[in-house]
Amino acid sequence: MKPLIHLVSIAALLCGAAAFAAEELTVRPLFNGRDLSGWKGAGYIIEDGTLVCTPEGRSLITEETFANYVLDFEFKLTPGANNGLAIHYPGTGDAAYSGMEVQILDSAYPKLAELKDHQLHGSIYKIAPAKQGVLKPAGEWNQQRVTVMGPTMKVELNDQIILRANLDDLSASHPQHLGLKRRAGHIGWLGHGDRVALRKIHIGELPPVANEEGVAAAGFTRIFDGKTLKGWKHTPDTRNWTAALGILKHNGKPGPIKDLWTEKSYGDFTLVFDWRWSGRGPLKSQPLVQADGSEKGAAGIEDHDSGIYLRGNPKSQVNLWNRPIGSGEVYGYRTDPQMPDEIKAAVTPKAHADRPVGEWNRTMVSLRGDRLTVSLNGRVVIDNAQLPGVPAQGPIGLQHHGSAIDYANLWIKEFK
């Protein structure tokens, strides 16, 4: 049991307080000012580089999903206009309830005087009221920033904080609201047919929280510096793998580098990292794997597929995916007909410990000799499984198998 306790204790070390400086935030545009690339929906047009909701405008949703981030935008209302900002929207259902809606509303309009406080501008619709009196009159531009970090959320309007919320607390007091339970999803605009103009829409994504001092004190070192691809094999024209503000991102598109490998080789080690799916996947039928590693039946899922290559060997890959079997499986060994039944069973996850698609997962991989242990979100899913024939040394690889994926907090501890 000692190796299992060790892995779980390393997971605890990664927890810590989030901190970042606004001036250090690396942002990118969500709206290019020319067309609706990256968005899905109808009823929105572009006028002089501005996104405008028309009388036909309802929902306009990002193709990507997001978890922790700072979203900045400017908006201009017409008298009595009503719109909304969708957060953590799963892509189906009413975004105000399957996700959350932050109100964008002309709160001072006389005909809206009967609205409740949780329906006014900046409020989480029907959940948490925002401070009023900061919104500029209709026809003037307002600046808004929404910060989402795990269960915490903050809304700033024209440089004043108008809402602070803890989603865990709100979910406990509103158990029927499914959206409050989510920690990732699409961002979107929720029109009601009123003219609302939007511009300067930018997002800065944030990695999950990590106690870097604690992990370093435990003997771990970074293998991703949070800003560049230094230490990883790449070329100057690598564009599908990018790094910024602690997140190593693959955009899900083909590029000059498919799988990303470390320049350094490793023998025995424990690797700790966070990862999440940042896009949508195709619907596919995938096998249902039994506890002994055999397959029986199938299920249709939105397929995502990636993994971690160990010691330079594609066969010894710890799979990351959202299949019913769960992440952690060593597919190359489980499906090898030459492997004994006990080997196949051992590399089959003991539990499905993955969080919902889009949310961050924390994984620990320990390889000592030919013995592998994998912990996912605090649960040991592979326990001291044997990988016969695994090389004694080799680089670590991040596989790309067609899915957009984010990595963060990659740390390793070597053993001699």
User: What confidence score (pLDDT) does residue 287 get?
Assistant: 87
User: What confidence score (pLDDT) does residue 19 get?
Assistant: 42
User: What confidence score (pLDDT) does residue 24 get?
Assistant: 56
pLDDT digits (tens, 9 = 90+) for 336-377: 999 999 999 999 999 999 999 999 999 999 999 999 999 999
Q: Which of 286, 223, 240 is nearest to 405 (CA)?
A: 240
Residues of the chain with pLDDT > 90: what percent?
82
Q: How many helices (H) and strands (E) does the chain have?
A: 6, 27
pLDDT at 380 over 80: yes
User: What confidence score (pLDDT) does residue 389 get?
Assistant: 97
The band of 383, judged by pLDDT with boundaries at 50, 70 and 90, is: very high
pLDDT digits (tens, 9 = 90+) for 122-136: 999 999 999 999 999
User: What confidence score (pLDDT) does residue 274 get?
Assistant: 97
User: What confidence score (pLDDT) does residue 298 get?
Assistant: 87
The band of 416, judged by pLDDT with boundaries at 50, 70 and 90, is: confident
Residues of the chain with pLDDT > 70: what percent?
94
User: What confidence score (pLDDT) does residue 372 get?
Assistant: 98
Q: Distance between alpha carbon 345 and the CA centroid of its chain, in Å?
A: 30
The band of 390, judged by pLDDT with boundaries at 50, 70 and 90, is: very high
User: What confidence score (pLDDT) does residue 25 get?
Assistant: 63
Residue of higher predicted confidence among 4 and 78: 78
User: What confidence score (pLDDT) does residue 297 get?
Assistant: 86
Query: What is the rounded CA–CA span in Å between residue 71 and residue 394?
Result: 40
Sign of the CA dihedral running 226, 232, 235, 237: negative
Q: Two tokens at 279?
A: 């896009």
Average pLDDT over residues 71-80: 98
User: What confidence score (pLDDT) does residue 209 get?
Assistant: 87
Q: Which residues pair with 305 in a beta bridge?
A: 321
Query: What is the rounded CA–CA span in Å between residue 284 and residue 237?
Result: 32
Cα end-to-end span (Å), the chain: 21
User: What confidence score (pLDDT) does residue 11 get?
Assistant: 53
User: What confidence score (pLDDT) does residue 87 get?
Assistant: 98
Residue of higher predicted confidence among 184 and 212: 184
User: What confidence score (pLDDT) does residue 23 get?
Assistant: 42
pLDDT digits (tens, 9 = 90+) for 244-284: 889 999 999 888 888 999 999 999 999 999 999 999 888 88
Average pLDDT over residues 184-192: 97
CB count within 10 Å of CB 68 equals 24
Mean pLDDT of the chain: 92
pLDDT digits (tens, 9 = 90+) for 165-179: 999 999 999 999 999
Residue of higher predicted confidence among 90 and 24: 90
Query: What is the rounded CA–CA span in Å between residue 60 and residue 201?
Result: 13
For residues 53 and 250, the answer to whether their CB atoms sit within 8 Å is: no
Backbone angles phi, psi at 343, to 5 degrees: -70, -45
Q: Two tokens at 156?
A: 């700033």
* Domains identified in the chain and CATH numbers: 2-15+212-415 (2.60.120.560), 22-205 (2.60.120.560)
pLDDT digits (tens, 9 = 90+) for 275-319: 999 998 888 898 899 999 999 888 988 889 999 999 999 999 999
pLDDT digits (tens, 9 = 90+) for 392-412: 999 999 998 889 999 999 999
